[in-house]
Amino acid sequence: MTDTTKENTLENNEDQMLSSLKDEVALLTSYSTDTIYRLRYDTMQYDYISPSVERLLGYSQSEIKTMNIRSLILETRIVSNAMKPVDSFDRLEDARKLGQVNKWQADYLMLTKDGRKIWVSDISYPWFAESGDKKGTIIGSVGSLRDITERVEAETLAKEEIARMANTDQLTGLSSRRLFFIRLEDELKRIKRNHEDLSVMLIDMDYFKNINNNYGQAVGDKVLQAVARIITACMRETDTAARVGGGEFAVILPETPASGAFWVAERIRSSVAKETFALGEENHLFGITVSIGIASAQHDQHLDANTLYKTADQRLYIAKHTGRNQVSMDELMEMH
């Protein structure tokens, strides 16, 4: 075999291997759920993008290569920036072009060809020029795109559930102490704008510790749930009820002066007093009572949530220490 023949044979083998490799790459990229790309920074267009882009965004390879990718991006969240939305690409793109970003990882809210909005994860690395005047400089990025819409939706639902649990008392279903103070601050700001009154009730179950001690926590929990239901039944949709302690509840009454709050409190107090609870198989019946303190705020007063709550708590103290099973709403001097 001559040298020329050997060279031709080697070239043919290399061509076959290269062709085979290209076929394998094409097969892998067509079946992969990820879309592989090579993006040029001078045009912000794809130099190469795998066929799976059509499944991802609805555009063919030829269509997507003529488009500026930014035109499809509605929102960007950078992973290294704690997933906070980004208002402008300019500074970030400049950093990438200068080689200050070795790994780019971001989530995009993108618009598909048929008008759907999907979340796409983008992970890429710098693409360096291999020849010419720009050899060794960054001319773009090589990376992959993946549809993460289902993951983002699941994370959103999980966050909403965590927030709901943080804002809800799990036993009674009423608002949590945390949410109560947030709502109270909001309502105090609102009455200043609308020139309205606002009242707060603190409701404490009399001798609640005795119920737990004598009958057990399971019975105590049922009593708490029953009192919560009574409070809810006496409220309007605009009111907010919360469990703020072991056997203590609080209610925000928007657009309600002290006189109106008194009648709501009396309805709750009398309804609880009429309720009876059965204990065990012997059907032993027992009842409970509550003491209530009321505090009100007018729009021209400068009160915060803690101050108003403290005033209601002082009046609750009076109700509990002057006989219990009653409502207190008298004006008080500072107590020590």
Task: Write the CB contacts of 148 (distance below 8 Å, at least 6 apart in sequence).
Answer: 107, 119, 120, 121
Q: Which residue spans within the chain are E strands per DSSP? A: 35-40, 45-49, 73-78, 104-111, 117-128, 138-147, 198-205, 240-243, 248-254, 276-279, 284-287, 290-297, 327-328
> What 3-state DSSP class applies to 131?
coil
Give 315: exposed, middle or buried? Use CB within 10 Å, 0-12, 13-18, 19+.
buried
For helices 217-233 and 208-215, the axis angle rounded to 10 degrees is 140
- What integer pLDDT is reported at residue 237 of this predicted model? 92
pLDDT digits (tens, 9 = 90+) for 276-322: 887 766 667 889 999 999 999 988 888 899 999 999 999 999 999 99
CA distance 257 to 30: 69
- What integer pLDDT is reported at residue 185 of this predicted model? 95
The residue type at 90: D
Task: State the distance between the two ends of the chain, measured CA to CA, in whole angstroms.
Answer: 111
- How many CB atoms lie under 10 A from the CB of residue 143? 21
Cβ proximity of 144 and 36 under 8 Å: yes
Kindly report the pTM of this predicted structure. 0.61
Structural tokens at position 190: 């609102």
pLDDT < 70 regions, the chain = 1-32, 81-100, 280-283, 330-336
- What integer pLDDT is reported at residue 334 of this predicted model? 40
pLDDT digits (tens, 9 = 90+) for 232-253: 999 999 999 999 999 999 999 9
- What integer pLDDT is reported at residue 5 of this predicted model? 60
CA distance 39 to 155: 29
- What integer pLDDT is reported at residue 241 of this predicted model? 96
- Give me the residue label for tokens 């009160």: 303
- What integer pLDDT is reported at residue 14 of this predicted model? 56
Which residue ranges form the domains of the chain, and what is each CATH number? Answer: 32-154 (3.30.450.20), 168-328 (3.30.70.270)
- What integer pLDDT is reported at residue 175 of this predicted model? 94
Cβ proximity of 253 and 231 under 8 Å: no
pLDDT digits (tens, 9 = 90+) for 262-280: 999 999 999 999 998 877 6
- What integer pLDDT is reported at residue 42 of this predicted model? 84
Q: Which of 124, 133, 251 is nearest to 198 (CA)?
A: 251
Task: Write the CB contacts of 292 (distance below 8 Å, at least 6 apart in sequence).
Answer: 201, 202, 203, 204, 265, 268, 269, 316, 319, 326, 327, 328
